[in-house]
Amino acid sequence: MNKFYLFSYGTLMDIEIQKILFSREINMIDATLENHSVYADSDGYYYVKEKAGQSIQGKVLELTQEEIWIADQWEEIPKYLRENIKIRLNDGSYKEVFIYIKTNVKSEIQVKPNEVSNYSIDEVIQIAGDFKKQLNDITIP
């Protein structure tokens, strides 16, 4: 089974969201994306951007091929693109993983530390449930 490693700084770190989207709790490792900060665009979507001296605390998710496809849909590719980036694990080692990078950014609104979404967790759970129902009508490659 192929494994895909994805750095998340947002909703995909939430166990309830994982259970809705992937039908299971995902294995996660604490990690840091160095020299980056989280911002919100004018459309409310969060994104990361290089910023010297700043860091983002997140998680590395271990996903299957089907799950990375679901994550791609959740992140609304091509609104975000999946790219490779090197992150630091809490044991001090570095790992190359995927991250979603927002395209067509129009504004740079600073986000509060540890804030993962413009929506409340209850709103995100509702959105995830609706999203999963739509996926049930699609054949996952």
Please state the pTM of the whole predicted model. 0.89
Specify whether the backbone of 14 is left (phi greater than 0), alpha (psi in -120 to 50) or beta.
beta
45 versus 58: which is more confidently predicted? 58
The structural domains of the chain, with segments of one domain joined by +, span 4-132
Q: Strand, helix or coil at 13? A: helix
Q: Give the DSSP letter of residue 38.
A: E
Q: What percentage of the chain exceeds 70 in pLDDT?
A: 95
CATH architecture, domain defined by 4-132 = Roll (3.10)
Residues 6 or more apart whose Cβ sits within 8 Å of residue 88: 31, 32, 33, 34, 94
56, 33 Cβ separation under 8 angstroms: yes
| Model confidence pLDDT, tens digit, residues 40-52 | 998 888 999 999 9
| Model confidence pLDDT, tens digit, residues 76-126 | 888 899 999 999 999 999 999 999 999 999 998 888 777 767 778 888 889
